[in-house]
Structure 1
Amino acid sequence: MTHTPIPVTLLTGFLGAGKTTLLNHLLAEAGERIVVIENEFGPVSIDSELLIRERDELVEMTNGCLCCTIRGDLSRHLHSLYQRRRDGELAFTRLVIETTGLADPTPIAQTFFSDDTLAEAYALDGVLAVVDAVHGEQQLDGHLVARKQAGFADRLLISKTDLVDEASLEHLGARLAAINSQAGQHRLVQGRIAPALAFGVRGFHLDENLLRPATGERNLSFRPAATRSFADDIAALHLAHDGPLDLARISAFMNRLVEQHAEQLLRYKGVLAIAGEPRRLVFQGVHRITGFDYGREWQDDETPRCDIVLIGQQLPADAIRAEFAACLA
């Protein structure tokens, strides 16, 4: 029987941004059995009206979902949950991990790629970052982890939008786009979001839609990277070329890039045309962990092109652009 990996959503955001409020709405409306891991020290913060009983570290909710608070090694808990599901002890269709507000999401995401068993058992679907519209600018100014959360996200969910004016929202949106041009932005009111916008993101799937929103997505704003500078140390860098690249040269470029800047690179992804190869090459990575695959062939009415997006901290943009230019086939 073919095994279907369990989809995982990573919910992140700075302290007080509204992660738990959003999560409570999702649990109430999702219509499926979800396990929630709260990566926190302290009591479970899921809405008490949804809780019916607690057993072992797992909290069962009125809608059939489950919640557990992690106070130890995440990997061990993931293995345990998967085994209990296989043994028929637990029944669930999706996993949501809510991180502490001070957590860098990168090592949590890496857990699903660095362990072969977990990589087969789970599929990281997407990273959602909740950004506080009232305090977001101040938090981005003062906390590197807030900038990392925004830079790593597949979706940027702006909370408390009813408490600020449109000009403030536009400025925050433009700043977030400069940090992460690939993440769709969605404005929340009182933490409400449709499950369809939170799930099925496919942020870590290797396909040709890697660098653009899926067709038919609603209530999401995808912005180009801002032309003005916000002086943030984390920013998106877009490398583009109309036409194919030499495979050996672009491989050497990417190897050097990862070797020299792995710790600075939060996420990177690309869709490439390769000289002499009819199919497009798709790749993405997190720090030193990289995956790639060949996609469908370029069609006669398509112009083969190359696009790479790097999201990182204090990347030497001019030097990287110069090295990329040397890869032109």
Structure 2
Amino acid sequence: MQAQKRQRTTVPVTILTGFLGSGKTTLLNHILESPDHGMRFAIIENEFGEVGVDEKVIKEASDEQLIEVMNGCICCTVRGDLSQALKRLQTKTAGFDGVIIETTGLADPGPVAQTFFVDQELQRVYHLDGIITVVDAKHVLEHLHEEKPEGVENECVEQVAFADRVLLNKTDLVESTALDETEKAVRGINANAEIIRTQYGQVEPKKLINIQAFALEKVLEMDPEFLKTDGEHQHDSSVSSVSVRFDGELNHQQLRMWISELQQNHGKDLFRYKGVLAVKGMPHKFIFQGVHMLFNGKFDDRFAWKRDEVRECRLVFIGRKLDRKFLEEGVMGCKVVPLRFQVGDAVEANCDGWEPGRIIALWDDGNPYRIRLESGDEVWGPVDTDQFVRKPANGKGAAWQPLAHQPWWGKGNGKQWRA
């Protein structure tokens, strides 16, 4: 399968994050020293300051490769150096089963994750596998409740929000009822993350490494029970998760326009989001995920809708100050509605000015209309509004102008729509 081939030919990268003193280095040492998993890792380790505070511990405890990114936080001031460090490892990755990036305790893992979305050279060698967040069971509620000055983010909350796995460490120091309260608070921020209770960072490495959390096909495995409810706010944080699920199909181009607007206006508050969507006129499921303003999605040939399967849409958002009603209305606004025109109807299509034509197909390759112009060219009408397709005006009246940022039409064989 294609996914298996990708996993074999690129090296998985795990981002290991957690607040100061949570036990990240203890966990990392456990992974490196564990004799059972039989795996070898390259380590990129970073803390504030000119000398990494954990360097001696790690080097004394293991003979694994260690690369240290100096002078600041991986996810901000030395983000470029992270890319260079990974590229320097390219000739050595054949000898490793994965790369682990241990971030500083004050790091937001979002920019680190974004590196793997935008750097195509890195994508040829590595794939982002997952984000693991370690929290101190005894003190995490204090960190989550901590009030920050205006404009300053709560790093602990953001680390939990980005996580695929949350390791609730040092559980031996906390009563059972307090652990339950802590888990409830974590789920209030990120209801989609798996929580693993640990002591001294003792956890089977295979539960953390090569989990393929960022593989698009993993989006298909979203827990149906999670989709029934949103994360509940159990503390003062404004970070939460929102899920949307409904039967029906979407207009693909209208959806892309909505997501683009959502990213532009709210991307900084969208930590992670993903979904599986049914698109009208397309036989395959549209699978997507995003981090902040970066988005990756496609129709996957391996996942076609079955004939008796209910075509539905499932979306999950994790972020700051999420408005469930706003998100739900936005995506529901992309649902397919009865079309205004039928095959054979005369229309005008907006192609740098209005051109007369006739509808020749409905829901062609995800577009409501396929139109043959009088010139003989064929175009798509991506959205059923007067901005793109209208009744003939008989040459009278002012013409709409195309969208300011880019044209939508596609000429020739109708298969070259330019988004």
Pick from 27, 31, 35 the counterpart of residue 26 of structure 1.
Answer: 31
Give the secondary-structure state (helix, strand or coil) at the position aligned to 2:235.
coil
Question: Equivalent residue for 1:71?
Answer: 70
Q: What is the CA-CA distance between 1:43 and the residue it aligns to?
A: 3.3
CA distance in 2, matches of 1:31, 1:325: 48
Q: What is the CA-CA distance between 1:301 and the residue it aligns to?
A: 4.2
Pick from 146, 153, 174 the counterpart of residue 156 of structure 2.
Answer: 146
CA distance in 2, matches of 1:133, 1:25: 18
Give the secondary-structure state (helix, strand or coil) at the position aligned to 2:216.
coil
Alignment of 1:98-113 (within 5 A): 98-113=102-117
Q: What is the CA-CA distance between 1:248 and the residue it aligns to?
A: 2.6
Query: TM-score, with normalisation over the residues of structure 1?
Result: 0.86
Q: What is the CA-CA distance between 1:92 and the residue it aligns to?
A: 2.6
Provide closer, same or farther for how the CA distance between residues 75 and 94 of structure 1 changes in structure 2, counting only shifts above 3 A: farther
Question: Equivalent residue for 2:215?
Answer: 205
CA RMSD of aligned residues (A): 2.7
Greater RCO, CA 8 A, separation 6+ = 1
Provide closer, same or farther for how the CA distance between residues 270 and 81 of structure 1 changes in structure 2, counting only shifts above 3 A: closer
| Structure index of larger Rg | 2
Q: What is the CA-CA distance between 1:252 and the residue it aligns to?
A: 2.2
Question: Equivalent residue for 1:118?
Answer: 122
Pick from 61, 82, 93 the counterpart of residue 87 of structure 2.
Answer: 82
CA distance in 1, matches of 2:219, 2:17: 24
Gaps spanning 5+ residues in structure 1: where?
53-60, 214-220
Q: Deviations over 1:80-107 (max 9, x none)?
A: 5534542x69843311011111111111
Question: Equivalent residue for 1:264?
Answer: 269
Preserved CA contact (<8 Å) 2:19 2:105? yes
Question: Equivalent residue for 2:320?
Answer: 313
Determine if the alignment matches structure 1 residue 45 to structure 2 residue 50. no
Preserved CA contact (<8 Å) 1:155 1:183? yes
Preserved CA contact (<8 Å) 1:282 1:294? yes
Q: What is the CA-CA distance between 1:249 and the residue it aligns to?
A: 2.6
Question: Equivalent residue for 2:311?
Answer: 304
Provide closer, same or farther for how the CA distance between residues 308 and 208 of structure 1 changes in structure 2, counting only shifts above 3 A: same
2:306 corresponds to which letter in structure 1?
Q
Question: Equivalent residue for 2:332?
Answer: 325
CA distance in 2, matches of 1:200, 1:224: 28
Provide closer, same or farther for how the CA distance between residues 124 and 284 of structure 1 changes in structure 2, counting only shifts above 3 A: same
Preserved CA contact (<8 Å) 2:278 2:313? yes
Provide closer, same or farther for how the CA distance between residues 313 and 227 of structure 1 changes in structure 2, counting only shifts above 3 A: closer
Preserved CA contact (<8 Å) 2:233 2:240? no
Query: TM-score, with normalisation over the residues of structure 2?
Result: 0.68
Preserved CA contact (<8 Å) 1:129 1:149? yes
Pick from 234, 238, 242 the counterpart of residue 233 of structure 1.
Answer: 238
Q: Deviations over 1:165-218 (max 9, x none)?
A: 2221111112211211211111112211111111122121111545526xxxxx
Q: Deviations over 1:85-141 (max 9, x none)?
A: 42x698433110111111111111112222221122211100000111100111011
Q: What is the CA-CA distance between 1:325 and the residue it aligns to?
A: 2.5
Preserved CA contact (<8 Å) 1:20 1:46? no
CA distance in 1, matches of 2:319, 2:166: 17
Q: What is the CA-CA distance between 1:309 and the residue it aligns to?
A: 0.7
Pick from 114, 128, 135 the counterpart of residue 131 of structure 1.
Answer: 135
Gaps spanning 5+ residues in structure 2: where?
1-5, 72-77, 149-153, 337-419
Provide closer, same or farther for how the CA distance between residues 250 and 24 of structure 1 changes in structure 2, counting only shifts above 3 A: same
Question: Equivalent residue for 1:216?
Answer: none
Count of aligned positions: 311
